[in-house]
Structure 1
Amino acid sequence: MTTHPTKLARLSSAASLAERRDALVAECALQRLALDVQTRQLLEPLTGGKLRHTLATRFKVPLMIGGGIVGLLLVRPRRFVPLLLAGASLLKHANTALPLIRTVLQRVGKRTPPPVERQPP
């Protein structure tokens, strides 16, 4: 059903006023249901459980790493600082070497021969 004036004019000649009213009430109910569904979809990311789950999955690993670093700093500060510096140096060298390794592997991967197709007996 529709609430457009020209379409309602056609209905008034063909149906009684009670039928028109019932059609409009049914259409309004459908519109209210659609509005309710759309409102829930808009507010869904703001619910507590969803927000808590999103933050927990994004910050779990960085918080674990940070907690481990703080724990090691508190327990063994003399041994951990040189280890941290060595790790940072290794990370720096790995960041410069990884693009080179990736390029070499891609070039090697392109030269593989195509698979031999077997014909059915």
Structure 2
Amino acid sequence: MRFTLSLVLPTLLGSSLAADCFRDNGQDILSSDIEFAIDDVDSGNIENVVFPLEVKASSFFRITHGGAVISISNRFLFDNTHVSQADIVSAARNIRDECGRFGGKQQIHGDSGLAIDVSIFQSS
């Protein structure tokens, strides 16, 4: 039972374990830009943002540093939620570690249980 809970609990409380990488999109994001964008979120160095971050229904929030964009998006039409700074940073670091310069997407869960997408991609 303890083994089962150790696998299920992180998924219920925070982010899912695997990132979906954007390897086929032709992206080539500088690793330093990804790192600086993650550091901006981790240090709270984002203007006019209060954590936990409210992600309203059918909306997104983006943090851009150089060529890297971290996007937090809510695909639900009618439900709002709040996501923690730690969950966003954890998902972004996981995407960085698994996908590198290609970027990718991972789900985290807001305080209401809604699945929220955290993505890293190249700015246009």
TM-score by length of 1: 0.23
Q: Structure 1 or 2: larger helix share?
A: 1
TM-score by length of 2: 0.23
Structure with the bigger RCO (C-alpha within 8 Å, sep 6+) is 2
Q: Could you say which structure has the larger radius of gyration?
A: 1
Q: Structure 1 or 2: larger strand share?
A: 2
